Amino acid sequence: MNRKYRHTVIAGNWKMNLLASDVKAYATELRSLIPDFHKWCDAIACVPFTSLPAAIRAFRTTRVMIGAQNMNQHKSGAYTGEVSGAQLKDLGVRYVIIGHSERRELFGETDDIVNKKVLAAIQQQLRPIICVGESLGQRETGVTNDLVAMQVKSALNGVDALKLRSAIIAYEPIWAIGSGLTATPQDAQDVCCEIRAVIRSLYGARTARAIPVLYGGSMNEKNAHDLLAQPDIDGGLIGGASLKPELFAAIIKAANQ
């Protein structure tokens, strides 16, 4: 974390978990665990589409902001089953995860689609949380930095410097997601530092300094402190541990120390 230049961001990614009817109890419990909380950090809950209205209602009196986990790149039209940025914005959604590795791997999202979604999100004044990261094979081959640099450059193609200020990048090594394996703080720091170097090369030092770069991949209440102590890790994108208010609260507390 480097609070002099940028916010710390703790974002939960609920994935396809919990029901809309679970949201109220979750929000009540989280609020009771961190009553006057996260002075230093922005807390975000990225919930399934079906839970967005309930989450926006339940978290209205808290400082937790609500995000979606995906959006379509088109403004509107004949795209059965899809949800546009304008529709998210209209609900009061502030953030949207884009290019999560599960979307890339399971739903065929390419770097080009990710880029179009980033542009569409920014156009709707939604803050994109752009995910990048390597597979185990790619790490073992030694191409992590090149791959992540390419993903970042592709995702930001055509995004101007002023607009980029709303973006958040999440480094999520695929092998660490949901596996219980976490990158070491140093390995995660090295890649987050590389991501910032790529942003610096594209947009200059001032912008690079201002963009939060998160780590994601089995972050939990035990390892959060050491990961967040790294200078280029500005927060976390948290799957499994965000489903339980007490674990999510513990990570928010770690980010506030």
Binding site for ligand PGA (CB under 6 A): 13, 172, 177-178, 216-219, 237-241
- How close are the terminal C-alpha atoms of the chain, in Å? 11
Cα→Cα distances 93→42, 113, 170, 244, Å: 15, 21, 19, 22
Is residue 29 annotated as a catalytic residue, yes or no?
A: no
Which residue's CB is nearer to ligand PGA, number 178 or number 204?
178
E strand or H helix that includes residue 10: strand 8-13
Which among 100, 102, 134, 194 is annotated as catalytic? 100
Q: How far is the CB of 218 from ligand PGA (least distance, A)?
A: 4
List 134, 172, 194, 221, catalytic entry: 172
Closest approach of ligand PGA to the CB of residue 100, in Å: 6
CB-closest chain residue to ligand PGA: 239
Identity of the residue, 208 or 247, whose beta carbon is nearer to ligand PGA in the bound complex: 247
Nearer to ligand PGA, 195 or 208 (CB): 195
The amino acid occupying position 1 is: M
Task: Let me know if 100 is a catalytic residue.
Answer: yes
DSSP secondary structure string for all residues of 135-197? -HHHHHHT-HHHHHHHHHHHHTTT--HHHHTT-EEEE--GGGTTTS----HHHHHHHHHHHHH
Q: Rounded CA gap, 50 and 40, in Å?
A: 30
With beta carbons less than 8 A apart as the criterion, state whether 199 and 165 touch. no
Q: Which is nearer to ligand PGA, 16 or 162 (CB)?
A: 16
Minimum distance, C-beta of residue 178 to ligand PGA, in the bound complex (Å): 4
**What is the smallest separation between the CB atom of 146 and ligand PGA, expressed in angstroms?**
22
Which residues are known to be catalytic? 100, 172
